[in-house]
Structure 1
Amino acid sequence: MTSGRRWAQVWRAAVFLLAALATGIATLIALPLLCHPRLARRWANWHRGRAGRLLGTPLAARPALRAPGRRAWADPATLRDLLWLPVNALTGTVFGLLTLLCVGNLVPAAVATPLWWAFAPEERPRLFIDIPVTGWTSALTLGPLQMLLLAALAYLALPPIARAHARICLAVLSHSTAEQLADRVAVLTRTRADVLDAHGAELRRIERDLHDGTQARLVAIAVRLAVARRVLYDNPRNEQLLEDLLRDAHEGTEEAMTELREVIRTVYPPILADRGLTGALTAVTARCGVPTRLDVGDLDTVPAAVEAVVYFAVAEALTNVTKHSRATAAGITVIRRADRLSVAITDNGVGGADDRGGTGLAGIRRRVLALDGAVDVDSPAGGPTTITMELPCRS
Structure 2
Amino acid sequence: MGGSRAQRPRAARYLLGSLTTAATALVALPLLVLPAPAHAWADWHRRRAGLLLGVPVPERSAPEADGPRARWRRLRTDPHARRDLLWLPVHMVTALPFGLAAVVCLGNVVTGWWAMTLWWALPEEAVPKLLGDITVDGWAVALTAAPAQIGLLTAVAWWGGPPLARAHARICLTMLSPSAAQRLTRRVEVLTRTRAEALDAHAAELRRIERDLHDGVQARLVAVAMRLGVAGESLADAPDDVRELIRQAHEGVEEAMTELRQVIRTAYPPILADRGLGGALTALAAGCGVPARVRFGDVGPVPAAVEAVAYFVVAEALSNAARHGRAPRAEVRVGRTGAGLSVRITDDGIGGADEERGTGIAGIRRRVLALDGSVLVTSPPGGPTTIAVEVPCGS
Q: TM-score range by the shorter chain?
A: 0.3 to 0.5
Q: TM-score, normalised by structure 2?
A: 0.44
Which structure is larger by alpha-carbon Rg, 1 or 2?
Answer: 2
